[in-house]
Amino acid sequence: MPRPQTISDEAILDAVLDLAYRIGPARLTFAAVAAEVGLSAATLVQRFGTKRGLLLAADKRGIDHWVSALDRSTAASPLARVVEGLVLAVDRLATPELMANSVAMLQLDLADPDFHAETLRGARAVRAHIERHLSAGLDAGELCAGTDVATLATLIETTYHGAMIGWAIHRERPLSEWMRDQVEAVLAPHRVGI
């Protein structure tokens, strides 16, 4: 009979993501993860197979975290939920070093077909969440009549991605503030009464 798991896969994958953002995916090893979570490297190999398998599982978990950020916002207004959700989506990337290692993870997402499939799934879901909140904002009278919410959702998603890189270069204030300002700037011309 197999021994019961003392640490859930979810907890391990969260630790893998945190470690990958701290040291980069290239330097991540089973031994480093084992030290982080208090399990043996052999146990991790048994659960996830290979380093690629471990990173892919962690990447899927990170993408789910990214997508769910737009649902975690408790703001009352649909447009505020867009802004707050995108700010929540960058909560793990508060330093330039974390951002740099996140970009290293993005390299995997763009180069490896399995990683890319997950990233594309996440990006489509994020855009759909944004579009849904924008539609609710249009219905609530927060957006100008006739606003093309699909186009605006694409523009906001693009701004979100670009804002992370812009912040990593300029480093003028906390990422959460930078992200909020960039998304608000895109929304401003479409808001009623602004």
Q: Mean pLDDT, the chain, as a whole number?
A: 94
Asked if the model's pLDDT at residue 1 lies above 80, the reply is no
User: How many CB atoms are closer than 10 A to CB 172?
Assistant: 10
- At 92 the pLDDT is 84
Tokens of 190: 């479409």
Nearest to 77 by CA among 135, 140, 129: 140
Tokens of 159: 């701004």
Nearest to 21 by CA among 130, 177, 174, 168: 168
Query: Model confidence at 176, in pLDDT bands (50, 70, 90)?
Result: very high
Beta bridge partners of 143: 191
Q: Does the structural domain 9-190 have CATH classification 1.10.357.10?
A: yes
- At 2 the pLDDT is 55
- At 4 the pLDDT is 58
pLDDT in tens, 19-67: 999 999 999 999 999 999 999 999 999 999 999 999 999 999 999 999 9
Tokens of 12: 């391990």
Query: Model confidence at 6, in pLDDT bands (50, 70, 90)?
Result: confident
Contact indicator for 36, 46 with CB cutoff of 8 Å: no
Distance separating alpha carbons of residues 152 and 141, to the nearest angstrom:
16
pTM: 0.89
pLDDT in tens, 115-157: 999 999 999 999 999 999 999 999 999 999 999 999 999 999 9
pLDDT in tens, 148-160: 999 999 999 999 9
- At 193 the pLDDT is 82
